[in-house]
Amino acid sequence: MNSPYPASQHAARGAKSTGLYSGQCGWGWRFGADGITLEVDEYEENVTAVVRHMRSSGYKLRQIVASLRDMGVVGRTGKPIGMTRIFEIIYGGRKKPVRLAKSA
């Protein structure tokens, strides 16, 4: 499963654009032609579905990363998807530890 976008287009996503917003939007979304509205990115949604299915089937995070690399799945930059992205797909973002207030 290869990326539907040429590598140069993936790398250019992070560059400043002529749209209202610059930068990247969340995984599974992309900016529309007007640069304002968000549209579903079918490729990334398919990757998300595969990752969640593999996790529910008992795969460990490292096994999922290795399997996606073997299948040729790449992220927006054209590089294989790493551990952090897989964690974010499964658990919904980078989790910060919760610090409890000290009791007096």
Q: Which two tokens stand for residue 25?
A: 């939007």
Contact, 27 vs 40, CB < 8 A? no
Q: Which two tokens stand for residue 20?
A: 């209202």
Taking residue 69's Cβ as centre, other Cβ atoms within 10 Å add up to 14
Mean pLDDT confidence for 77-99: 82
pLDDT of res. 11: 47
pLDDT of res. 49: 94
Mean pLDDT confidence for 46-70: 95
Q: How confident is the model at residue 6 (pLDDT cuts 50, 70, 90)?
A: low
Using the predicted structure, report yes or no on whether residue 72 has a pLDDT greater than 70. yes
Contact, 38 vs 25, CB < 8 A? yes
Using the predicted structure, report yes or no on whether residue 13 has a pLDDT greater than 60. no
